[in-house]
Amino acid sequence: MIRKVFRQGSVATLLGLGALSPSIGAELRGIHLSSDTNSAQVTLELTDGALQKLFTLDHPDRVVVDLPHTHLARGIRMPAPAGVVTGMRIGSQPHGTLRVVVQLKSALPAHSTWGAADTGRQLVLTLGPLVASINSGPKPVYALHAPGDGDRDVIIAVDAGHGGVDPGAIGHGGTREKDVTLAIARALAKALDAEPGMRAVLTRDRDQFLELRDRMARAHAAHADMFVSVHADSIRDRSISGASVYVLSAHGASSEAARVLAERENAADLMGGILEDKGALRPVLLDEAQSQIIGISASAAERVVSALEGVGELRRAQVQHAGFVVLKSPEVPSMLVETAYISNPAEERRLREPSQQARLARAIASGVRSYFTQNPPDGTRFKQVRRSTLASAGDAASAATTP
Ligand SMILES: [Zn+2]
């Protein structure tokens, strides 16, 4: 059974690889091991980086790394067991995930860091006490001890876009984006609160102007596990309709339309007279920690996309990427949902209907719930449920096939 679990998420999407397509992805081109009697370092040479999961298992003690959308290059040699490492193997998991299992003589703390390599990227797993030299590099990520029994709620910050002096987009019938986003945000909070183990916090619950960074700060102050910003898109072509889901981009927008949209949403701060913060509109520079957060955001956003697709509300079937300032939080996985086109007369009408607001809200809530069911944060009720499910399903790592 899983004893220590770490954070999850697919970072492949932010590398512009089209992470939703299993046919494209990274290649594992080399594995190196150095080990002594009480520590080990495993280096994985990859064409691109995407750490989905790092966790440890016992009986026997193992460290497991899941790499989404990754395949093994031909002719890779597994390093021979040495020191504390008694064996290594690689197996395929569903949906194109490659699993690397390192078996140990005894349990060791594990953490990972990404670095550059000749092949592209390098994932270094350090098993054993953290050494000082690692601290000088990119921020390491730790496989944490799961706390014994926590049952706190997963907290979702629900952000109604625009507000106050910033009306957002305005429909041909005069509907203001700031009003429908507030209505949908309230419906979403209600839908989330109705889920056992979840609690919603609204960044605004009235017609109020908020700076983008204020919205993030409120989510952070509420100890949010996720941030969902609700918007309604607008475009010149009135025939275009449907929802899209966005996460922060590390390498430019996924389309010109996404870039223009991000510029428009980012301009909200300018409407409130906050002109001094030019930095907010600069391209987003990401460190390792933020890249990981985007990976988590993208995999949660994929769930919301599926849920919206399930109710037939989708414009784009893939998670979109762009440089939204409101999604820049370095700690809280964040997504922005453009629920519909307020510029489409039929959607504008529907956006005003409480039944449609509730329908969109329920779909978003079910996507969020689906994500946390699969990826429960430590100390939450979701985690307790997950742990008991895994226990009854048996040892997860035994699913790794030996090549
Ligand atoms: Zn908006």
Which is nearest to 168 in space by CA: 157, 154, 184, 179? 179
SS3 321: strand
Residue pair 167/176 in contact (Cβ under 8 Å)? The answer is yes
Together in a domain, 145 and 277: no
Distance 159 CA to ligand 1 centre (A): 11
Q: In this structure, are 319 and 175 located in the same domain?
A: yes
Residue 393's pLDDT is: 62
Give the domain extent around 179: 154-374
CA of 345 to the centre of ligand 1 (A): 17
Distance from the CA of 9 to the center of ligand 1, in angstroms?
26
- How is residue 187 written in tokens? 């419906």
CB atoms within 10 A of CB 82: 13
How many folded domains does the chain comprise? 2
CA 225 – ligand 1 centroid, Å: 22
Centre of ligand 1 from the C-alpha of residue 343, in Å = 12
Tell me which residue of 160, 349, 354 sits closest to 238, measured CA to CA: 349
Structure tokens at 383: 């985690």
Full-prediction pTM beyond 0.85? no
Q: How far is the CA of 49 from the centre of ligand 1 (A)?
A: 32
Which of 14, 78, 75 lies closest to 49, judged by CA?
14
- CB 227, CB 201: distance < 8 Å: no
Is 235 in the same domain as 298?
yes
Q: Are 122 and 231 found together in one domain?
A: no
CA of 353 to the centre of ligand 1 (A): 19
Pair (213, 278) in one structural domain: yes
Question: For residue 123, how far is its CA from the centre of ligand 1 (angstroms)?
Answer: 37
Whether 206 and 345 map to the same domain: the answer is yes
**Is residue 88 domain-shared with residue 217, that is, in the same domain?**
no
**In the prediction, which pLDDT does 65 show?**
84
Task: Verify that 167 and 316 share a domain, yes or no.
Answer: yes
Question: If we measure between CA atoms, which residue out of 295, 286, 281, 382 comes closest to residue 333?
Answer: 295
Instruction: Please confirm whether the linkage preceding 22 is cis (ω < 30° from 0).
Output: no
The alpha carbon of 160 and the centre of ligand 1 are apart by a number of angstroms equal to 9
My answer on whether 48 and 75 are in the same domain is yes
Confidence at residue 115, expressed as pLDDT on a 0 to 100 scale: 75
Check whether residue 117 and residue 235 sit in a common domain.
no
Query: Do residue 195 and residue 249 come from a single domain?
Result: yes
At 64 the pLDDT is: 82
Provide the residue type at 389 as one letter. Answer: T
Encode the chain (403 residues) as per-residue pLDDT tens digits: 333 333 333 332 233 333 333 335 788 888 888 888 888 888 888 887 766 677 777 777 888 888 878 888 887 788 888 888 988 888 877 777 888 888 888 888 777 777 777 777 888 888 886 543 333 444 445 444 434 457 899 999 999 999 999 999 999 999 999 999 999 999 999 999 999 999 999 999 999 999 888 998 999 999 999 999 999 999 899 999 999 999 988 666 777 778 888 888 888 776 665 444 444 444 444 566 777 888 899 999 999 999 999 887 889 888 988 888 888 877 789 999 999 999 999 999 999 999 999 999 999 999 999 999 999 998 899 988 877 777 666 544 444 444 4
CATH number at residue 142: 2.60.40.3500
Helix (H) / strand (E) element for 259: namely: helix 256-266
166 CA to centre of ligand 1 in angstroms: 10
Q: Which residues make up the environment of ion ligand 1, defined by Cβ < 5 Å?
A: 161, 168, 231, 265
**Contact criterion met (CB below 8 Å) for 9 and 398:** no
Contacts of 291 (CB under 8 A, 6+ apart): 11, 14, 114, 250
Both 355 and 273 in one domain: the answer is yes
CATH code, domain carrying 294: 3.40.630.40
